[in-house]
Amino acid sequence: MKKQPTAGIYTLGCKVNQYESEAIAERLCESGFLVLPPREICDVYIINTCTVTAESDRKARQFIRRAIHQNPSAYILVTGCFSQIAPKTVAAIPGVDYVCGNAEKQSVVQAALDLIQKGNKNASPILQNAAPDAFGFEAMCIRRFDRTRAYLKIEDGCESRCAYCIIPTARGKIRSKKPEDVVAEVSALVAGGCREVVLTGIETASWGKDLNGWTLADLLERVDAIPGIGRVRLGSLDPGLIRPAFVERIAKLRSLTPHFHLSVQSGSSSVLARMKRKYNAQMALDGMELLRHAIPEVQFTTDIIVGFPQESEEEFAQTLDFVRKARFLMIHIFPYSRRKGTLADTMPGQVSEAIKHEREKRLLQLQTEIRRSILDEMIGKDVEVLFETNENGTWTGHSPDFLEVVCQSAEPLHGEIRTVQINGNDGERCYGILKPTRKESR
């Protein structure tokens, strides 16, 4: 009996990469592979890479070499942003068999089949290095999802050309998934039991710009009308999207969660201008105020870069003041990292690593205080929690506004949405008591 070939997928980077890796895994299964965790010994390893920072490039090389070390005879296929930007660098790593970027990523499945059939590694790597947008929006979909949530890519590419970012080069121009395809994929996931769908993209706010008049609000209304739809969450959004007409429409949706991740990057308008962002700090605050007025229970998370070239102490103080006003539930803080091929890499006035990390600590301290104050305000309130994980009767899940909530229960709660009364927190997570269902309370 012929042995079933095995494959492991290493995924680095963003939620878009996670979605694409899941789509590749499903195609592998359809083609006769058994997909295993990448830590296992496999016949094939696929490394889906990121290139957002120089550290991301280092990790990509590390994971490629890790796969080769795990099984020197395995077939090694590399895709994603790093292999789009630096295909020759990837191909030069001994043991790599196939390299493709972000065009036709699912070609790794056929390449894996060809290698298995051939029975030996390539003498030199095959390079498929088309422009990332050469084939439009690559047709891919998923039917499976981990836990209770599914990420669904609705958009690819970015045309913003921010001063610090290489991703437009790696991902190409804006391409949108057709609305009927999004609706069909979400409908299938909902029918399969998915309780929460996260619509994501490289620049999610730009969905529809290439589709003759469609907007993200149009798509959200279509998704909201799907029978049985549960929660719909959005990936990272440009703050420039948050305008009165958009807010008025989305505030009426029953499925959209009251949580928005706004990719603000700085609270200083002069720093934002150097970054080549398309908004200033006041515009971002005004957008958040619009959402708070329309959706009172809304919470915000964000990304902020500290130590961008020429950032003065006064500009950093403006960011601290912005954060006090914005009251983010969570901030992903990134000390600025130089990236070759970007405008910021060549800017004068590079900030020292010591100052970057000192500012990171100050911003983190402020954010810790704000987060605790938000969590304290939740004590005594009831929230609806979608439970995801369990460890010895300790269940963890998220509320619609993205609070992480923990409670004890002997009954199985995986995938269930239940009411929890919050009675405390540890500054990071809320703790509460599971309330009985109406049926139980009779």
Region 162-169: what's the mean pLDDT? 96
Question: Closest Cα to residue 273, out of 310, 301, 241?
Answer: 310
The strand pair at 382-391 and 394-398 is best described as: antiparallel
Who wins on pLDDT, 285 or 442? 285
* pLDDT per residue as tens digits for the range 291-308: 999 999 999 999 999 999
Region 427-439: what's the mean pLDDT? 89
Provide the token pair at 158.
Answer: 């970015």
pLDDT of residue 172: 95
- Three-state secondary-structure class, residue 338: coil
pLDDT of residue 323: 98
Question: Closest Cα to residue 432, out of 375, 388, 390?
Answer: 375
Region 427-431: what's the mean pLDDT? 97
* pLDDT per residue as tens digits for the range 24-54: 999 999 999 999 999 999 999 999 999 999 8
State how far the Cα of 417 lies from the Cα of 388, in Å rounded to an integer.
Answer: 10
* pLDDT per residue as tens digits for the range 381-408: 999 999 999 999 999 999 999 999 999 9
pLDDT of residue 148: 80
Look at residue 441 and tell me whether its pLDDT is greater than 50: no
**Burial class of residue 194 (count of CB atoms within 10 Å of its CB; 0-12, 13-18, 19+):** buried
Residue ranges of the chain assigned to CATH 3.80.30.20 = 149-377
CATH of region 149-377: 3.80.30.20
Neighbouring residues of 101: CB distance < 8 A, sequence distance ≥ 6: 79, 80, 81, 83, 84, 85, 87, 128, 129, 130, 132, 170
* pLDDT per residue as tens digits for the range 75-108: 999 999 999 999 999 999 999 999 999 999 999 9
State how far the Cα of 212 lies from the Cα of 206, in Å rounded to an integer.
Answer: 13
The CATH superfamily of 382-441 is: Nucleic acid-binding proteins (2.40.50.140)
Look at residue 146 and tell me whether its pLDDT is greater than 80: no
pLDDT confidence band for 134 (50 / 70 / 90): confident
Look at residue 145 and tell me whether its pLDDT is greater than 80: no
Beta carbons of 74 and 45 less than 8 angstroms apart: yes
State how far the Cα of 323 lies from the Cα of 254, in Å rounded to an integer.
Answer: 29
Beta carbons of 295 and 286 less than 8 angstroms apart: no
State how far the Cα of 190 lies from the Cα of 193, in Å rounded to an integer.
Answer: 5
The pLDDT mean for the chain works out to: 95
pLDDT of residue 147: 65
- Three-state secondary-structure class, residue 425: strand
Per cent of the chain over pLDDT 70 is: 98
Look at residue 1 and tell me whether its pLDDT is greater than 60: no
Per cent of the chain over pLDDT 90 is: 93
Question: Closest Cα to residue 12, out of 68, 71, 59, 72?
Answer: 59
pLDDT of residue 135: 82
- Three-state secondary-structure class, residue 65: helix
Look at residue 333 and tell me whether its pLDDT is greater than 90: yes
* pLDDT per residue as tens digits for the range 304-324: 999 999 999 999 999 999 999
Region for residue 32 given its phi and psi (left: phi exceeds 0; alpha: psi -120 to 50; beta: otherwise): left
Region 124-141: what's the mean pLDDT? 91
Is 6-128 in CATH node 3.40.50.1220? no
State how far the Cα of 387 lies from the Cα of 419, in Å rounded to an integer.
Answer: 10
pLDDT confidence band for 442 (50 / 70 / 90): very low
Residue ranges of the chain assigned to CATH 2.40.50.140 = 382-441
- List the alpha helices (DSSP H) in 103-227: 107-118, 167-171, 179-191, 216-224
Residue with tokens 């020197």: 72
